[in-house]
Structure 1
Amino acid sequence: MSDRQLGIIALESYADRAKRINQILCGWRKEENFLIEAQCPRFASGEAKGVIGQSVRDKDIYILVDVCNNSLKYKMDGELNRMSPDDHYQDLKRVIAACNGKAERITVVMPFLYESRQHRKTGRESLDCAVMLKELEFLGVDNIVTFDAHDPRMQNVLPLNGIENISPALQFTQAFLTEYEDIQIDSDHLMFIAPDEGATERVVFFASIFGVNLGMFYKRRDYANIVDGTNPIIAHDFCGGSLEGMDAVIVDDMIASGGSIIDVCKQIKERGARRIFVFSTFGLFSGGFAKLDRAYEEGLFDRIFTTNLVYQKPELLEKEYYCSVSMNHYIAAIIDTLNKSKSMQNLTKPADRMKETINAYMRK
């Protein structure tokens, strides 16, 4: 085991999940506590500062933040403001600054990579994710742990620093095969589908491990107009074999408004699919649940699986069609592995464990 003394700092956005991760690590290591108290109190003007409750000198520090947690509010000029991703990111920088360069090593665990949707330039516009990564490098961050980055090429921004881009494919596989006992894993009964060309790599990985075929939708967009920050989708064109009588699994990195997923589900259903499941690492559901509720009632999909890597609205957890996939043990394992300076290969691409899970399921 490494001699590095472990310390975990959880911003308010990740406080509840961090307590569970701490409990898991304490159980594994027979320790009492790794959590270090930290706060970002605010002045009446809305300005803030980072405060750490105990020494971090010579410790291996892991800072956990959920930039998508929009349930938190703060007062400014007597009014309540909801915290945005920008607010969470600023608080992260404040806590890093409060460490005063005394920590031996700092790792930021940011499941949803801040501004990762703005991953490339298409005109006179900012490249916020790249700027964020360079800022963290300047602040002395040694490693960044994220999950299912929208564009893995963002790692190229910091070629000499560690960026671990973790796939939750194992947890989706385990949850899926636990929830359903009648899945026939072969090319005649199961297909993995990419809702757009950007999700192809994820789907290829799942399909190759499961040993089944894949399909892909191509998004045709209206590049002449911008609505809510993006070019609206005109249509989804499908590339793949017959879906008649098959179970289809759509794999994507996030569900935002849900409109794109619903359109894909509708087209898959029209092609004769038996059941439709959705795997999405981040369930943002920024457009509410009305459209998804209606789509479920119409039989357009059977189940949505998303992780607890980002804040989950209480209303979501009550949905009949929703299945939450916990990543707490995996994050604990990642922190434990990095702290002991062991290889991350089995955690970043868990192909062997997925195959073991599938083989055990098929032997039942």
Structure 2
Amino acid sequence: MANDYVFNDQLPVAPLKIAALESCRVLAGKVNDHIVDFRRNDIEELKRREADLHYRGYDVDSYLLSCGCPRFGSGEAKGIIKESVRGTDIFAMVDITNYSISYTVNGYTNHMSPDDHFQDLKRIIGACSATAHRVNVIMPFLYESRQHKRSKRESLDCAMALEELTAMGVSNIITFDAHDPRVQNAIPLHGFDNFMPTYQFVKAFLRHYPNLPIDKDHLMVISPDEGAMDRAVYLANNLSVDMGMFYKRRDYSRVVGGRNPIVAHEFLGASV
């Protein structure tokens, strides 16, 4: 079935290439398959209207870029792209929370941390930013997003990471449900898109529990802390159910492990 619309007289910025790091290859494969089908249907619709989209690299079998980050015996790595990206629009995809990938350091097995994934992302950007028309980063979980503000003598890691990426030539950064989207203030002149996957969450939830009755007698939305209140309020209002939340009562007279210990979890709301 052809798409309901076409981009009338509007060409893409440049030929598309998806630079999927090992941590995000499965998701990137699904994105690639969707774009391939989408654009082929687009071509069919344009031909039906006696028009054609003459554009280099618009309709190809795959938009995935052949790239990788091999490591030396010392554990150090390098970014390699195995095809030309001159004049292309690069979308680098990385999942910094994929802990399943391991590598060897001096004979020891080491699982990749968010820092390792972020370094690999910078290696791929460094390998292609000089010749690519534009570089974009898709990071489903924003790197260091929990360290988004300074409360004591602390480093602002998320802001530094965003500034580091833009300094390397990244034009746009795309993430989902950032811990605090106000971190984009660190890069006000660059693109920062924070998409909320609320609809996808509800759809997956209802598909997994198809017989779940959505009413006040059978369902209640509970926020685990104050930080998730906005999300819980949004879900409760749209599903027309009750809402509650947990409040973490802390002992501010002591510091254990760099933070004030939690004394108790107090539940606020109607009876479950």
Using the size of structure 2 for normalisation, the TM-score is: 0.82
User: Residue 206 and residue 47 in structure 1: after superposition, are their counterparts in 2 closer, same or farther (change >3 A)?
Assistant: same
Residue in 2 that maps onto 1:59: 88
Q: Is the 8 A contact 2:129 2:135 kept in 1?
A: no
Aligned partners of 1:117 and 1:226: how far apart in 2? 19
Residue in 1 that maps onto 2:256: 226
Q: Structure 1, residues 84-133: CA drift from partner, whole Å, max 9, x if none? A: 11111011011101013222221111111111111221211211111101
* Structure 1 residues 48-127: aligned runs within 5 Å: 48-127=77-156
* Structure 2 SS opposite 1:177: helix
Aligned partners of 2:192 and 2:198: how far apart in 1? 18
Following superposition, the deviation at residue 188 of structure 1 comes to 4.3
Aligned partners of 2:63 and 2:176: how far apart in 1? 23
Residue in 1 that maps onto 2:199: 170
Aligned partners of 1:87 and 1:61: how far apart in 2? 21
Q: Is the 8 A contact 2:19 2:67 kept in 1?
A: yes
Following superposition, the deviation at residue 18 of structure 1 comes to 1.7
Q: Structure 1, residues 306-347: CA drift from partner, whole Å, max 9, x if none? A: xxxxxxxxxxxxxxxxxxxxxxxxxxxxxxxxxxxxxxxxxx
- Give the alignment partner of residue 9 of structure 1, picking from 4, 9, 19: 19
Aligned partners of 2:28 and 2:187: how far apart in 1? 27
Aligned partners of 1:53 and 1:13: how far apart in 2? 18
Percent identical pairs in the alignment equals 53
* Structure 2 SS opposite 1:106: strand
Q: Which amino acid aligns with 1:151?
A: D
Aligned partners of 1:222 and 1:95: how far apart in 2? 45
Kindly indicate whether residue 236 of structure 2 is the aligned counterpart of residue 207 of structure 1. yes
Kindly indicate whether residue 67 of structure 2 is the aligned counterpart of residue 38 of structure 1. yes
Q: Structure 1, residues 169-188: CA drift from partner, whole Å, max 9, x if none? A: 11121122223344333344
* Structure 1 residues 316-335: aligned runs within 5 Å: none
* Structure 1, unpaired ranges of 5+: 244-364
Q: Is the 8 A contact 2:129 2:168 kept in 1?
A: no
Following superposition, the deviation at residue 68 of structure 1 comes to 1.1
Residue in 1 that maps onto 2:48: none
Q: Is the 8 A contact 2:223 2:229 kept in 1?
A: yes
- Give the alignment partner of residue 189 of structure 2, picking from 144, 155, 160: 160
Following superposition, the deviation at residue 210 of structure 1 comes to 1.7
Following superposition, the deviation at residue 139 of structure 1 comes to 0.8
- Give the alignment partner of residue 145 of structure 1, picking from 150, 174, 189: 174
Aligned partners of 1:95 and 1:24: how far apart in 2? 24
Pairs aligned (count): 242
Following superposition, the deviation at residue 230 of structure 1 comes to 4.7
Q: Which amino acid aligns with 2:238?
A: I
* Structure 1 residues 246-265: aligned runs within 5 Å: none
Aligned partners of 1:91 and 1:152: how far apart in 2? 24
Using the size of structure 1 for normalisation, the TM-score is: 0.63
User: Residue 33 and residue 73 in structure 1: after superposition, are their counterparts in 2 closer, same or farther (change >3 A)?
Assistant: same
Quote the RMSD (CA, aligned, Å). 1.8
Aligned partners of 1:213 and 1:155: how far apart in 2? 33
Aligned partners of 2:150 and 2:98: how far apart in 1? 26
* Structure 1 residues 158-307: aligned runs within 5 Å: 158-223=187-252, 224-227=254-257, 230-243=259-272
Q: Is the 8 A contact 2:18 2:64 kept in 1?
A: yes
Q: Structure 1, residues 19-68: CA drift from partner, whole Å, max 9, x if none? A: 22212221222330000011111222222211111111221111010111
Which runs of structure 1 show a deviation greater than 6 angstroms over 4 or more consecutive aligned residues? none
Q: Which amino acid aligns with 2:20?
A: A
Kindly indicate whether residue 32 of structure 2 is the aligned counterpart of residue 22 of structure 1. yes
Aligned partners of 1:177 and 1:45: how far apart in 2? 48
Over alpha carbons, which structure has the higher Rg? 2
* Structure 2 SS opposite 1:142: strand
* Structure 2, unpaired ranges of 5+: 1-6, 41-59
Q: Which amino acid aligns with 1:44?
A: G
Following superposition, the deviation at residue 6 of structure 1 comes to 0.9
Q: Which amino acid aligns with 1:79?
A: Y
